[in-house]
Amino acid sequence: MSFFFDSEKELLESKECENVEVVFGEPEYSTIRCMKKLRWIQMTWAGANKYTSVPDFPDDIIVTSASGAYGCVISEYIVSGILALYKKLFLYRAQMENGGWDKIAGDDTLEGRRVLILGTGNIGQETAKKLRCFGTYTVGICRTPGKKQTDFDEMYTIECLDTQLQAADVVVIALPGTAETAGLFDAERISKMKASAILVNVGRGFIVNTEDLTDALQKGLLAGAVLDVTEPEPLHEKHSLIHMEKVVLTPHISGISWGENKFTRKRILEIFCENIKRDRNNEPKMNMIDFSKGY
């Protein structure tokens, strides 16, 4: 039997709350504790740190993510953000709004650029695939040694990150939010990047130290940044990053989600339907979250 609720408040007030076994969505932990028979949560998000960060999350509740549904839309965002900076599109728009009609120096191209992608899952693979169409050389950073992906020209583990940063023209962060990735990009790590490099973050805001990144951009230690996530989120309205011409800043919209994009919604539903089939057949589900890893 299926039930549909418009809000968690409606669910909690329902006499069926204690009988719920499967949830499609992202209920709050306080709501989860009220569902005594809950055994499986199918998320509509790719990231699961909402639950993996809970110290006493019940071991008997399976959590599956919508990983695989967002690679297409997020990779499109990444490419468009890089090109917007390389082609000075926002500078031209600002110039025209002020009555200007002049050539702006410094137009750049993706052809021949070395792109380092941290995270070689669905988002990283789709990004590498699209960027290689522009003639880039793509390098992946993964967690598991020996892991191979045909969309990358080279693959390394996280231990090689600092060396690879020194050679990269573009660095894309598509990592999950875990204790290991928190604060990964601080002032010391950012300093290893080229002054001509662009940093892209579509992972989690807390992976990059916001103030260290701001300082590096202000000092010209980086050429620009494309940020769909920040820490905190949103930034204070007077924060320097908001007003920098070499920064593309958006409110966590790269992974256009459930209810906002038909393509993504279809992908999420396909994952859920496949997992329902596996659940009925007592088979392992897709995208099961490993709480020991955080994703």
Please identify every residue annotated as catalytic.
204, 233, 252
Residue 190 φ then ψ, to 5°? -60, -35
Using N-to-C axis directions, what is the helix angle for 262-280 and 71-86, rounded to 10°? 150
Give me the sign of the Cα torsion angle 75, 115, 142, 224: negative
The answer to whether the beta carbons of residues 181 and 174 sit under 8 Å apart is no
Give the containing element (helix H, strand E) for 248: strand 247-249
Give the containing element (helix H, strand E) for 51: helix 49-52
Residue 55 φ then ψ, to 5°? -60, -35
Phi-psi region of 282 (alpha: psi -120 to 50; beta: other; left: phi over 0): left
